[in-house]
Amino acid sequence: MSLHVAILSTSIRPGRNSHRVGLYFKHYLEEQTHLSCDLIDLQAYNFPIFEERLRHMEHPPEPVLHFAERVRRAAGILVITPEYNGGYPASLKNVIDLLSDEWKGKPTGLVTVSTGPYGGALLLPSLLFSLWKKGVWVVTSRYHVSKVHEAFGPDGTPADAATADQRTQALVAQLVWSMEAREKMRE
């Protein structure tokens, strides 16, 4: 079974650091797994503030349809999110609210990122609640990246590759199990 994973890089800030982690995950999936992957960069879409759900749009803009299709075709998702003031960024809330069935039941792993010492863990309650409301299947393994500017280079190279790969392997293993289980139940 060939499985496809979307990595959702959610910081749209100039000079962002969390995108480094998205690049790392892309390299990891390409080099160390049989999964295919797609790095979806919300900075490239630059969506306006949410107004209405895709399913209620009479004339959906092409970028919205393009984004929705990339989420739809993924068997699983890895969300890379920075912590902003103890929560997750508006750019991520925008796309959680935008889509419906594309999210429902989708196996999803969370990667939280900060320049501080706690790795963005404080955003989890708010993000988990929103994803639960959307019916997203969030796997329990998580990856918190603290001091991201020291932990990953601009091209996504980890300072400590052995530890980064070990933590990623645990998260990806759970994601794969959930993706395979879901695909089997749909057969």
Ligand X SMILES: Cc1cc2nc3c(=O)[nH]c(=O)nc-3n(C[C@H](O)[C@H](O)[C@H](O)COP(=O)(O)O)c2cc1C
- Judged by the rule CB under 6 A, the positions of this chain that interact with ligand X are 11, 13, 16-18, 82-86, 113-116, 148
Cβ 90 to ligand X shortest distance, Å: 10
> Are 22 and 41 within 8 A, CB to CB?
yes
**What tokens does 56 get?**
């209620």
Residues paired with 41 in a beta bridge: 9
Cβ 63 to ligand X shortest distance, Å: 21
> Are 69 and 100 within 8 A, CB to CB?
no
Cβ 40 to ligand X shortest distance, Å: 15
Q: Which of 100, 97, 111, 93 is nearest to 39 (CA)?
A: 111
Q: Which of 14, 5, 82 is nearest to 40 (CA)?
A: 5
Q: Would you tell me how many other CB atoms lie within 10 Å of the CB of residue 7?
A: 24
State the Cα torsion 79-85-91-93 to the nearest 10°.
80
Cβ 184 to ligand X shortest distance, Å: 36
Cβ 8 to ligand X shortest distance, Å: 13
Which of residues 94 and 178 has its CB atom nearest to ligand X in the complex? 94
Going from the C-alpha of 169 to that of each of 6, 41, 143, 154, 177, the distances in angstroms are 16, 22, 10, 22, 12
